[in-house]
Structure 1
Amino acid sequence: MKSNTLNFSGGPGALPESVLEQTREAIAALPETGISVLGMSHRSDWFRSILNEAELNIRCLLGISDDYAVTFMQGGSSLQFATIPMNFATKAYAPPEYVTSGYWSGRATSEAAKVASMKISWDGRATGYRQLPALHALDVSSSAAYLHYVSNETVEGLQFPVCEDAMPVPLIADMSSDFLSKPFRPELFSMMYAHAQKNLGPAGVTVAVIKRSLLERIPDGLPAILDFRTHVSHGSNYNTPPVFAIYVMTLITRWLRFDVGGLHAMQSINERKARRLYETLDSLGDAVTVHADRCWRSQMNAAFTFGDSRLDEAFIEMAREQGIVGLEGHRSIGGMRVSLYNAVTEQAVDILTNALTEFSLHRV
């Protein structure tokens, strides 16, 4: 098995082998142009076709209507954390509300507070970020500008279930680590965004899907590059975009549509991978502690520990010798983390779980 498919990193994550092969070829010369993708002009007809296809693929995969604009931006989710309140936390509404459920939603909350008045609707700090709230049960002001949450906490391995209930205020979700991993109802959201280096390719591009009616709230006077309307009106080509990252993202969305067979098929694969991993971890009993409470466990990221940093490091080293990489836990909680992004294969998960079982029998 190639080492790419044994990459369990929290990001950048594994890429599909077919996408890697096409990318290798494109770096030398694109079949359509004879020019390296690294040297293609963002003003070329070729790149415009790539932008159009990427948008079409995302619309088809998610079933997004024309009520929404699809844009490709830069700066990752970190830039969105500040840009969203700049655009939508206007004085015409009560302060936006935020769910703080882990490391990255905490970052979003902190950045928003620098830009505008805001309110924390729920904070999981007291539980060590091991649980999540039910969104529909939150006491959110009906006049709030919006409610923001992170659908999957990459660091702690927590994931909200698919949203099924309409909220009384615009719902905005950072879906960076589970975007395109399963179907959901986009019509329940006013904005969804995701940076690429999980399920969408290399870092550099962030997908933002925004309800057009929400764009009408944006105040005049923002710097052009921080105004969402700029990117919508320029078709994601206002300033020089990350051509390479968008190209690879387009290949991945092709793979999802035509090789995998859509998001329902991708969901089934991801469910099998997660079930295999968690069954193995649970079978180890007290030897392993999974960070997230069982009912909130993520299908994308599992954070766990053998309870001793020396054992964690020993397993990481043993796994590395077998070609398994990317298991180090996030610096904020330590331990280990296994990320099961779309391109991680079921065979790779089998290899990992066998290694976990072997290690627990001989070392724990």
Structure 2
Amino acid sequence: MSPVRLILSSIMLISISNAAYAVAFGNPNGSGGTVYAMGSDIINPSDSNDFKEIYIPEYKNNDSDWRSKYRFILKNNTSPNIETRRYYEIKEKKWLYSKFYILEASYELGPDIEIQVSYDDGKRSWQDAYTTGSIYAEQLGYIPPDLRKATHSITIHNHYNGLMGGNNNIIIFEKRGAEHIEKGSIEEALFHEATHNYFNTMLFKKQNPLYALWKQAQSQDNDHISYYAKTNDYEDIAESLITYYAVKYKNERLGTLQDKILKTIPNRIKFFEGVNLNLTHLPIKITPHTPYQITSSNAQNAIDISDSNFAKMAPISATDSQFWKLVPKVDSQYGTSNRYQIKYTQGNDDKCLDIVNGGKHDQKLHLK
């Protein structure tokens, strides 16, 4: 089981300018959008990942309903079921049916996801399917769980070259997936496709109140974030959300690209700020001046943050308590932001509070 890594990264109040700005990313032919422009810089292996395991599902009472699945521990002599699933064929622009190895991926902070790996007419071994499925199932663990919840399955095959999202499914064409893995941009590509699954119903059902707000934000902005975003609403929202995520949570990795984003889509950013979408691996959105409890899987090891600004830590082995204060961090460029440091309030010691993990042999969170 992989431990959950909770990384609180640069949560900032966004100051927005309405100055005119050209398309930020990509080429006029539509290629080279935000994933390629920001690629390996936004999500990296040190970030939060709540992937737990990939396993072989079995069915109770021979019932093919996915809701009846239960876990079966992988054994050397056990292969996944081979079942028929539909997939979208871009060249023919229609749904087709084929056979896939069926696996299941589990996550700490969200529902399990079905992993479908192409049977390739018997040319692919189940061991290879298991390895391939594991790679992409783990990469999907980098996607914020709230954004990921609209993705129910991943389809992996070689019938075309690209990635697709929609209908609660992500299709990964292995050649393009391998290219993204090599470049370090697979996490960003999956983020883009997961966005399709999350927002496509809103965009398709135009009577949704959010749709009117999205169109209003589009009309008020000066341009699109990329040439690819100009293709349609679906690509626009997927291209825009990852740049919003980068500015709000990973701004220290953006450099000069941050100004491009803030000046190009300020009103789209305001739209995303108003959507109830948690883009962290924390179970709740962090809001200033709100009490929180920080806890590990062991309920005894809890820290209560009360009175809005103070945290009281009571170690199990200690008779006294230590007091910590949430201090707003001042950023040189943006002034006081939503970033906080947890500082020791007793004496003159310059102490800080770190939450660390002991590795795969120690699943507990430790306060240092």
Q: Same fold (TM over 0.5)?
A: no
Larger Rg belongs to: 2
Q: Which protein, 1 or 2, shows the higher relative CO under an 8 Å CA cutoff with sep ≥ 6?
A: 1
Structure with a larger share of its residues in strand = 2
Report the TM-score when normalising by structure 1.
0.28
Report the TM-score when normalising by structure 2.
0.28
